[in-house]
Amino acid sequence: MCRNIRQLHNFEPPATSEEVHDASLQYVRKISGSNRPSKANAEAFDRAVAEIAAATRRLLDGLVTKAPPKDREVEAAKRRARAEKRFAAA
Protein backbone atom coordinates (compact mmCIF):
# COMPACT_ATOMS: atom_id res chain seq x y z
CA MET A 1 0.00 0.00 0.00
CA CYS A 2 1.15 3.50 -0.72
CA ARG A 3 2.61 5.01 2.43
CA ASN A 4 1.02 8.38 1.67
CA ILE A 5 -2.50 6.99 1.87
CA ARG A 6 -3.66 7.20 5.47
CA GLN A 7 -6.46 5.41 7.24
CA LEU A 8 -9.58 7.55 7.14
CA HIS A 9 -12.07 5.44 9.09
CA ASN A 10 -13.01 5.99 12.72
CA PHE A 11 -11.62 9.45 13.36
CA GLU A 12 -13.29 12.27 15.20
CA PRO A 13 -14.08 14.49 13.40
CA PRO A 14 -14.73 12.26 10.37
CA ALA A 15 -12.53 12.42 7.28
CA THR A 16 -13.00 15.57 5.27
CA SER A 17 -13.74 15.71 1.56
CA GLU A 18 -10.20 17.00 1.05
CA GLU A 19 -8.70 13.99 2.85
CA VAL A 20 -10.83 11.62 0.77
CA HIS A 21 -9.81 13.42 -2.44
CA ASP A 22 -6.11 13.39 -1.49
CA ALA A 23 -6.19 9.65 -0.78
CA SER A 24 -7.99 9.04 -4.07
CA LEU A 25 -5.46 11.14 -5.95
CA GLN A 26 -2.56 9.22 -4.39
CA TYR A 27 -4.19 5.93 -5.33
CA VAL A 28 -4.71 6.97 -8.96
CA ARG A 29 -1.15 8.30 -9.16
CA LYS A 30 0.18 5.02 -7.81
CA ILE A 31 -1.75 2.70 -10.11
CA SER A 32 -1.33 4.88 -13.21
CA GLY A 33 2.37 5.44 -12.64
CA SER A 34 1.85 9.10 -13.37
CA ASN A 35 2.18 11.99 -10.97
CA ARG A 36 0.71 14.40 -13.50
CA PRO A 37 -1.14 13.01 -16.51
CA SER A 38 -0.63 14.25 -20.05
CA LYS A 39 -3.34 16.39 -21.60
CA ALA A 40 -4.55 13.33 -23.49
CA ASN A 41 -5.04 11.41 -20.23
CA ALA A 42 -6.15 14.23 -17.92
CA GLU A 43 -9.88 13.61 -18.35
CA ALA A 44 -9.61 9.88 -17.58
CA PHE A 45 -7.27 10.62 -14.66
CA ASP A 46 -9.59 13.23 -13.14
CA ARG A 47 -12.64 11.04 -13.68
CA ALA A 48 -10.90 8.13 -11.89
CA VAL A 49 -10.03 10.37 -8.93
CA ALA A 50 -13.65 11.57 -8.66
CA GLU A 51 -15.07 8.04 -8.92
CA ILE A 52 -12.67 6.65 -6.33
CA ALA A 53 -13.38 9.57 -4.00
CA ALA A 54 -17.12 8.91 -4.29
CA ALA A 55 -16.64 5.18 -3.65
CA THR A 56 -14.39 5.97 -0.68
CA ARG A 57 -16.97 8.33 0.81
CA ARG A 58 -19.70 5.68 0.42
CA LEU A 59 -17.43 3.13 2.09
CA LEU A 60 -16.59 5.42 5.01
CA ASP A 61 -20.24 6.38 5.46
CA GLY A 62 -21.28 2.71 5.51
CA LEU A 63 -18.66 1.37 7.93
CA VAL A 64 -19.62 0.84 11.57
CA THR A 65 -17.44 0.16 14.57
CA LYS A 66 -17.75 -0.14 18.31
CA ALA A 67 -14.19 1.10 18.84
CA PRO A 68 -13.77 4.61 20.18
CA PRO A 69 -12.79 7.21 17.56
CA LYS A 70 -9.08 7.82 17.08
CA ASP A 71 -7.43 11.15 17.74
CA ARG A 72 -5.70 12.59 14.66
CA GLU A 73 -2.88 14.18 16.64
CA VAL A 74 -2.09 10.98 18.54
CA GLU A 75 -2.03 8.96 15.31
CA ALA A 76 0.19 11.58 13.64
CA ALA A 77 2.61 11.43 16.58
CA LYS A 78 2.77 7.63 16.24
CA ARG A 79 3.58 7.97 12.51
CA ARG A 80 6.32 10.51 13.25
CA ALA A 81 7.84 8.24 15.91
CA ARG A 82 7.85 5.27 13.52
CA ALA A 83 9.46 7.41 10.81
CA GLU A 84 12.14 8.70 13.17
CA LYS A 85 12.94 5.16 14.26
CA ARG A 86 13.01 3.87 10.67
CA PHE A 87 15.20 6.67 9.33
CA ALA A 88 17.50 6.80 12.36
CA ALA A 89 18.46 3.18 11.73
CA ALA A 90 19.50 3.96 8.14
- pLDDT at 30 exceeding the cut of 90: yes
- Average pLDDT score over the chain: 91
| Helix, strand and coil in the chain, % to nearest 5 | 65, 0, 35
Q: How far apart are the C-alpha atoms of 2 and 29, rounded to whole Å?
A: 10
Q: Report phi then psi at 37, rounded to 5.
A: -70, 155
Neighbour-count burial of 79, counting CB atoms closer than 10 A to its CB (0-12 exposed, 13-18 middle, 19+ buried): exposed
Whole-number pLDDT of residue 90: 61
At residue 1, the pLDDT reads: 46
Residue 12 banded pLDDT, cuts 50, 70, 90? confident
Compute the average pLDDT of residues 2-21: 87
Ordered by start, the domain boundaries in the chain are 17-88
CB atoms within 10 A of CB 53: 20
Q: What share of the chain has pLDDT > 70, as a percent?
A: 93
